[in-house]
Amino acid sequence: MATGKPIPAWLQPVVLLDLLAARGINALPALQGTTLFPRDRPFTGHQLSPQHYDRLLANGHRLWRGDDFSFQLAHQLSGYGIGPLAEALGETAGAMAKLTLISRFANLASPSATLRIHQVRPDDCFLLFGGTYSLPPSPLALRCALALISRELKRSEKEIRLDAYLRETSPADRHQFQVHVAARCHFGMPINALRLRTSLPQCERAPTLRAQVALQQCAALSPAERTTLTSVQERLWSTATALNLPECALQMGMSAATLKRRLQREKISFQQITDNLRAERALIDLLLSGASVEEIGARLNFHDSSNFRRAFKRWTGMTPSDVRAVYRELFSNVN
């Protein structure tokens, strides 16, 4: 487990507890196993780890009467629940700029999920959802993040197009997605992602003083210490060339043995992380570009297309040609 506790307890956790109380539900059992205790109320100065926040989500879902807990929480979080990020978003022009801001301060928008942007074109990008201590985010966290982020983006820019792609094939609460997520939802997809497309010109303007204050506050609430998984993901995602474990460890200022040991404590391996990220990049290239399998394999530093095809089948259970045949039309032509 990571030792960092990047989630301010007086933001999302307090909103969650207030939501339960407003529905006449005893909120105290939701604290079980979270490192928060009733005596700590109102939790000023306390923080949670991503694991403990997910435990709080699971407890709240168990106590909730109905199947819309994550979505109702997203509504409550919009505004005060995401702290100064709400102010920063209000002072930011352009949907793409807002999405970048949400990704930058993911701990405020989606505490137990990582958010990575893959830019396809200036007017078309994907926000990819991962976990802070596991590769996929928890279903509850994913639902909440989709509802919150899509509604924040749609709040001031109605003309943007949002599509949510979800790996779940047929969730029992499918109708709740249609009601609460401000995006067209597609299930049984190969990735968890929110796609943003816009035909509007993206305005650039100097940040106002209010925006500068809000951004400084967001930065102050961002974790000084990331989980090792998140740090490795960010390092691998941002680099232009593939890194092996010793190279990644060197860039992170530690030995390969130390990095390997820290990842083992988080119950993940370096190979799992690299496979996951390469699979995501390969999937997007296959679905959205006209590049050949050979070209995509070369971009991902495979020496020949046969090795890439075998690795892709191991990652996804499908061949590159099967993925294109099944999904490409949907990804390319969604209106």
pLDDT (mean) for 285-290: 85
pLDDT tens for 172-200 read 888 999 999 999 999 998 889 999 998 76
Count CA atoms within 13 Å of residue 307 on its CB side: 8
Backbone φ/ψ region at 111: left (φ over 0), alpha (ψ -120 to 50), beta? alpha
pLDDT the model gives residue 107: 86
Q: Span 226-234, mean pLDDT?
A: 78
Rounded CA separation 270/103 (Å): 23
What pLDDT sits at residue 122? Answer: 85
Q: Is the pLDDT of residue 2 over 60?
A: no
Q: Report the Cα–Cα distance between both ends of the chain, in Å, rounded.
A: 42
The reported pLDDT for the residue numbered 37 is 92
How far apart CA 305 and CA 295 sit, in angstroms, is 8
| Sequence ranges of the domains in the chain | 7-73, 82-197, 228-333
Residues 103-149: tens digit of each pLDDT: 989 889 888 888 888 888 888 899 999 876 667 788 999 999 999 99
Answer yes or no: is pLDDT of 204 > 60.
Answer: yes
Give the CATH architecture of domain 228-333. Orthogonal Bundle (1.10)
Alpha-helical segments (H) within the chain: 12-22, 50-63, 69-77, 84-90, 95-104, 106-109, 139-156, 174-180, 209-221, 228-238, 245-251, 256-265, 270-288, 293-299, 305-316, 320-333
Do 34 and 9 contact (CB within 8 A), yes or no?
no
Average per-residue pLDDT for the chain: 86
With 70 as the cut, is the pLDDT of residue 48 above it? Answer: yes
Confidence band, pLDDT 50/70/90 cuts, at residue 84: very high
